[in-house]
Each structure stands twice: as structure tokens, then as C-alpha cells.
Amino acid sequence: MDTLEHFKKYSNHLIFSLLLGLFFVFTFSIKEELKIGDNDGILRIQAQAENAEESLGYAQQIYDITINGISIKEEDVVKNEWNYSDLDIVEPFYSTGGTNGEILEIKINEPIKTLSFYYSKNVNRGFFDVYIGDRLVSKTDAYSNEAERQYVTLGAPRYYGISIGNALWYLVVFTFALAIVLFSYLNIYKEFTKMDFLKLCLTSFGSALILYLTSQYLSEDYVNIFSLSYYPQYKIFVPVILAIFFTQISVISLRYTVKNIENDLWRSNAWESGSRLFAFKDKVRLFFKFFHKKIIYYIIYLVAILSPLFSYFLLQNSYSRIGNVDQSAHFYNLLLMYILFLLIFWISTSLRFSIVLIIAVGLVLGILNKVMIDVRDAPLMYYNLFQIQDGLNVASKVAPVFTQRIFQSVILGCVFLSLATFLPMKPKKIAWWKRIVVSILGLLVTVFALPFISKSIYETADIKLSYWRMDSTYSKNGFPLSFVSYYEDSKIAKPQGYSYEKVEQLLNVYPVQKVNAQGQLPNIIVIQNESQTDFSNLPGLQLTNDPLRFQH
């Protein structure tokens, strides 16, 4: 009995100790993000007129340069003796012949901690050097007897410190530490409901399962995200699951703190032991009352406002990168994403459901688009929505290869979804029949107004559509805008002046004549290149061979 009493008495200390241990594990796993680089922020990649004995040349090709977890921008390039190619391709790249020691120099506004990029390997490649500041960090031989793309991650010396680039990480650490104190010593853990526990288990287990399944298709045997690198892959599970866990603890602490403003938590004897403490208690109560009525709703609305923007990022990041999209196209893409979000909210009448669905849509469609580009050399198009059964039939025969960007999108998507799941939203008490009426109105608006909105955006944006490399259009103009534009462009409008009566008039000029074949009949040879037609379905046509016998 005494043991049970002691446990109840010191339970908050035990909870705090447990959470503090997990907090130290999380902090240690992201320690590299709490550091800053010890250099001037200059990256130099220099081709060398040097190659392996078996190599046939010195050429180089580099894709997707990322510094401190962020893709470089064109204005970051201060010296370029390489060739930059971005015409009708998904991922622009830098290339050079490599015979004159060509230099590609990049300058960012903070010290460099990590660098990652893809480079091409084949029989025509030579050596290239990578410098961060004045320090040579890598000398790479790009020769290979097989053509392939290699992903590489490089680091630079660093030390603990705060900069613009990592200030957010320090804020996250501080927020989690504060949440642990509130959760433990304000006895919030005692009000941790079964539903909270169920949500915590489902989101943590679901995130771990999604990360595990995604990691099985990674092209590398390690994970690189932001300035963090984990080998082997499963080590990434520790910071991600703990980040999700502490995010949920933070939201729960916030929810119960503002909920118990007027409860005994703020009326304990400890508060009333003196007049000064009592006055302080009133100030605290007023602060949290304001916090409850104002700030908490601002947080909820901020998450809702950011969700379409974040979904758009996930959509682009999975198959390309957001920096490849033309600046003028961002407005139309975001407009489409926010219209979609509002329609989902109108139909579902649930803000939480709308946030979760719009994030899930961006994540799933982005990954599907990447798989479609890799398998069919074409992006996800509107007509693929009517080929779901065909897609399921061939899915088991496809072995997708996921990039680091896809895994980054999955991680960020899981964290954002866990945050949305635990947001302290209070649904308004609205009669069920009113919700049905609102949902029906939302459906009607979606069915009748969305086509006009789609056409209007297509005509206003007026982007150039590439039919040879449609995936490059998606990369340059964004998934939402390109998807809508190809759909609208595929519509066949009735020619001006066309009518059934005029066609009949034209046909009447040429009477029907029956011609009997005489002599030798001609051979008609049908050659099908990239398109296929099943001529055996045409009435009255006799074929000597089945042109699609392997498919039939």
C-alpha cells in the first residue's frame, strides 16, 4: 500500500524522468542540426582533365545540388563555367567536357554544413573535386562501365551555435522541453484519455509502418534529410517517431492547459498562500483566458491555411523540386490547391478532415506521379483516373525506386498529419440535417462550378504544353496547373459553323455507289508505332493475322 502511495505521490517525477530521457535521445539524434558550419559558405566543384585508365573522356554531369538540406537557387551560382540544361527535362543539370578544369562556384548566405547531389557515371567520365571554402572534401571518379546516377552526401566541419538556418530547430527543442514540464508537473498526464492514447499509438505505429515500407524502395542504403544523415536506414525512425510523439505531447499539453483554466489546477492552496501569489494567479488566469480565446484559434487557422501550401510542396518535392517551377506558375498552382481545400471543407464540413485529406492527396499523388514518370516516361494524367483497374493489374510487376526526396516528403507528411490529428478543435454543434444541406451544396458547386474555374485558370495561365516530354511541363509549371491544362487542352470543341444538317448536305452531293472488287485484291499493311488500335473490332474487316495476338 505504501509503495502505491509513493508511486502516486511521485508519479509526476517518474513521468518527467521518462520523457526527459526520450527528449535527450531525440536531441542527440538531431545534434547536427544544432550546429553551424565553420566556413564562408562557398562551394566549388571543379572538373579535372584526369580520368581512369579505362575511361573514354573527362565529361561530368551533376543534378539536384542541395546545401544544408535546401536546393540551390540560380542566384546562388556566382561563377559558372559549366553548361546548364533545363529544356524539356524534369531535373535540370550542370554538365561540362572536363578538359579545361571548369569551375562551378556557389555562394549561400550561411556556412555550409552538408552538401548532397546526384552525378552521372558512365564510360566517358573523369574526376571532379569538391571544395567547401578552401577545404577539399571530395575527389570523385565518375567512371563506370555501366550508365547510372550516384547520390552522394558530404559534410563540413561544424560547431554548436545558432544561426538563421537552424534557429527553428532550437525553437522545436525548446517547445518540446516546455511541453514535457507542463505535461508532467501540471498533471496533464492524468487527464490523458483513452482516445488520446489510441490516437498516439495509431499515429506512431502508422508513421513507423509507412516509413518502413517507403525505406524498402530507397535507391540508397542510408537516409539524408536536411543536414542529417542516417546509416543504416532504420536509424531515421528514432528522431521521426520521437518528433511525432513530442509533437502530440505538445499539442495535448496545450489543449489541456487551456481547458483547465477555471479548474482546481489554478485554484490550489499553493496559489493563495499570499496576496502577491494570489495577484499573480489572477494574471496567469487572464493570460491563459486570452490565450485560449485568441492564440489557440490562430494556431488552428494557421495550420489550416498552411495545409494547401504544404500539400503543394509535397506534390512537387516527390518527383521534382519546388525550385524548378516558374515563379509565375506558383500563383495558379496555389490557387487550385486552395480551391480544392475549400471544396473539401465545404463538402465534409470538417476542418480536421480537410487538413488531413489535402496533405494525404499531395503526398500520394506526388509519389504516384514519380512512379508513373519512371515506369511510363509520362506523368499522372487525368485519363489515368479512369484506368485504376489497369494500374492495379500491373502494380505487382512494377519495382519502384524512391529517391531521398520522396522519403523526405513522407517524413514531413507524417509529422504534419500527426499535428493535425491532435489539434484541439471543438466542432460546432450544428444539426445533422444542416450539415447534409451544406454538403449537398458543396457537391453541387463542385460539379457545376469547378469546370468553369478549371477552364478560366487554364486560359488565364496560358502555359506552353510539351507533348513530347509532358513530365517536363509538370516540373516547370507545377503538377496542379499542368494537370488541369492538359485536361482542358484535350477537349475537342465543335468547329465554327458545324451542324448535322450541313454534313448531310455535303454527303448528298456524292451518291452512294457499290463497287465490286475485280481482279487481285490489295494487301493493306498496318504499322503501329507508339499507339495501338485493335482493328479486329472493326465490323466487316477480315484480318489474316491478329495484330494484338500477344495481348489477346
Distance CA 202, CA 253 (A): 19
Strand partners, 349: none
Q: Render pLDDT for 138-151 as a digit per residue (tens, 0 to 9).
A: 999 999 999 899 99
pLDDT at 173: 94
The helix or strand, by DSSP H or E, that contains position 114, with its residue range, turns out to be strand 114-121
Instruction: Give the mean model confidence (pLDDT) for residues 510-515.
Output: 74
Q: Mind listing the pLDDT tens digit for each residue in 345-392?
A: 989 888 888 999 999 999 999 999 998 888 888 899 988 888 777 777
Average pLDDT of span 415-441: 77
Q: What is the mean pLDDT of residues 506-532?
A: 74
**What is the average pLDDT score of the chain?**
83
Assess whether pLDDT exceeds 60 at residue 335: yes
Which amino acid is it at 59?
A: A
Q: Quote the pLDDT of residue 274.
A: 46
pLDDT score of 293: 57
Q: Residue 270 carries which DSSP code? A: T
Task: Single out the residue of 523, 522, 547, 545 nearest to residue 534, CA to CA.
Answer: 547
Q: Is pLDDT at 419 greater than 90 in this prediction?
A: no
Percent of the chain with pLDDT over 70: 88
Return the SS3 of 362: helix
Instruction: Kindly report which listed range (62-71, 189-198, 396-405, 525-534) carries the lowest average pLDDT score.
Output: 525-534
Strand 223-225 versus strand 228-230 pairing type: antiparallel
Residue 273: per-residue pLDDT: 45
> Average pLDDT, stretch 169-178?
93
| Average pLDDT value for residue range 427-446 | 78
Q: What percent of the chain is modeled with pLDDT above 90?
A: 31
> pLDDT value at position 263?
52
Q: What is the pLDDT of residue 461?
A: 92
Residue carrying C-alpha cell 555562394: 107
- Dihedral over alpha carbons 11, 13, 15, 21 (to 10 degrees): -150
Indicate whether 2 pLDDT > 60.
no
The residue among 353, 11, 34 whose CA lies nearest residue 172 is 34
Helix then strand then coil, in percent of the chain rounded to 5, is: 55, 15, 30
Nearest 5°: phi and psi at 99? -95, -15
Alpha helices in 30-125 (DSSP H): none
User: 298-303: long-range contacts (C-beta < 8 A, 24 or more apart)?
Assistant: 299/254, 299/423, 300/351, 300/423, 300/424, 300/425, 303/355, 303/419, 303/420, 303/423
- Average pLDDT (519-545) is 73
Amino acid in the structure at residue 434: K
- Look at 519 and 474; give whichever has higher pLDDT: 474
| CB proximity list for 172: less than 8 A, separation 6 or greater | 243
User: Which stretch of 198-212, 428-442, 473-487 has the lowest confidence by average pLDDT?
Assistant: 428-442
Q: What is the pLDDT of residue 264?
A: 47
pLDDT score of 230: 74
Q: What is the pLDDT of residues 240-291, one digit of tens each?
A: 889 888 988 888 887 776 666 545 444 544 444 444 444 555 555 555 555 5
Per-residue pLDDT, averaged over 105-124, amounts to 92
Q: According to the model, what pLDDT value does residue 529 have?
A: 67
Residue 163 has pLDDT above 90, yes or no: no
462 in helix, strand or coil? coil
Residue 59 per-residue DSSP state: B
Could you tell me the residue ranges of all domains in the chain? 39-156, 164-271+280-428
Flag whether pLDDT at 310 surpasses 80.
yes
What does each C-alpha distance from 206 to 26, 176, 310, 322, 381 come to in angstroms? 19, 22, 20, 27, 29
Span 32-50, average pLDDT: 91
Lowest average pLDDT, out of 95-99, 250-254, 466-470, goes to 250-254
State mean pLDDT over 339-350: 90
